[in-house]
Structure 1
């Protein structure tokens, strides 16, 4: 019973994109590990960019710098 936890930043990911992630992760488990899709769980956690850091910076600040 695979459990896959995908963490992404909260930046406007659509329900369609989330469904594609769920299908893709499930398909990977089927193809690589021969797992049953009916017992494969995929959870997507959306994390605020204030709560996600890269290096010394919050992603929120990094995004602001990229827009300049």
Structure 2
């Protein structure tokens, strides 16, 4: 059973239901087409992480975005 975990920063209210559905469908389809995995047993989870809880280069994403990085 394939398990896909997508992590994205939560911005501007987060992903819409439609965007999440596209990510789930696309990930499932990719595993089916590329690796021959059964879509009925593919699990996809999406985690939206607050920008203050995500860091790159010792800096919070929220601060990096304010600087335009």
Q: TM-score, normalised by structure 2?
A: 0.89
Q: Match for residue 7 of structure 2?
A: 7
Tell me which stretches of 4 or more aligned residues in structure 1 moved more than 4 Å: none
- The size of the alignment, in residue pairs, is 66
Shift of 1:56: 2.1
Can you give the 5+ residue segments of structure 1 that lack an aligned partner in the other structure? none
What are the Cα deviations for residues 11-42 of structure 1, in whole angstroms up to 9, with x where unaligned?
A: 12211111110001000110011111110000
Q: TM-score, normalised by structure 1?
A: 0.90
Output the aligned Cα RMSD: 0.8
Listed as ranges, the matches of 1:1-68 within 5 Å are 1-11=1-11, 12-66=14-68
